[in-house]
Chains A and B, each alone.
Chain A
Amino acid sequence: AQKVTQAQTEISVVEKEDVTLDCVYETRDTTYYLFWYKQPPSGELVFLIRRNSFDEQNEISGRYSWNFQKSTSSFNFTITASQVVDSAVYFCALSEAWGAQKLVFGQGTRLTINP
């Protein structure tokens, strides 16, 4: 069975600090996809990134960066120079590569950026 664990329930930092959200996953599949979603107070899930299990290259998009390490089954997310608008709940998710491709989400990390 697939499982995603986000051990950090809540994180609170001061604006402009860097923050890393941890994600550890379990799967028996050799091919799968990993995701990060943002859920602001409005409730709608906002897609941030998708990663194929064969692509371990780290990715940077503006202040966001992702570190995928297959050896440790981790897919961590770092926000550099955090801003108040980054405050939200962030979810890591895992999907099988074929079939239903349903998403398995972690419990989420509530990130609060204080001014």
Chain B
Amino acid sequence: DTGVSQDPRHKITKRGQNVTFRCDPISEHNRLYWYRQTLGQGPEFLTYFQNEAQLEKSRLLSDRFSAERPKGSFSTLEIQRTEQGDSAMYLCASSLQGTGSYNEQFFGPGTRLTVL
């Protein structure tokens, strides 16, 4: 399978614990996006990388959230001191920034986080 993969698919944690999610983009895709989707809502942009550089962060990304893409390939999203309000589906997408005017984003299956 050469699509975007995310791990784990489901995570249940207790409030106050730290969690880390991983996203493996489509090979050769230089852009990677993180979105968050809460129940009954559409996905909301969190942050994106061009290669290893984090170029934009949403105001939704509080200080407890940190994302990395150390070698320009896979990315991790860490949430420290989780709160019940962090319960959501975390979606990763990747795209290839090329010469075309639009670069389609391909989404992974998501990681569903439940904070008890």
Contact = CB atoms under 8 A, between A and B. Distances in A.
Interface of A: 4, 33, 42-45, 47, 50, 52, 91, 93, 95, 97, 100-108
Given A43-B109, A102-B33, A97 B102 contact: yes
Contacts of A93: 42
A107 B40 contact: yes
Nearest to B105: A103
A32 to B, nearest CB: 10
B25 interface: no
A105 B43 contact: yes
B110 A108 contact: no
Q: On chain B, which size bracket covers the interface?
A: 20 to 34
Given A43-B89, A43-B112, A100-B56, A105 B104 contact: no
A97 B101 contact: yes
Contacts of A44: 107-110
Nearest to B58: A102
11 contacts: A43-B109, A44-B108, A44-B109, A47-B107, A97-B101, A101-B102, A102-B56, A103-B45, A105-B43, A107-B42, A108-B41
Given A95-B102, A106-B42, A43 B33 contact: no
A42 B33 contact: no
A61 B82 CA distance: 44
A45 B102 contact: no
Contacts of B84: none
The 9 closest A-B pairs by CB, nearest first: A105-B42, A45-B107, A102-B45, A44-B109, A100-B56, A105-B43, A91-B42, A108-B42, A43-B110
B44 interface: yes
Nearest to B56: A100
Contact of A107 (B33, B41, B91): B41
A111 to B, nearest CB: 14
Nearest to B44: A105
B66 interface: no
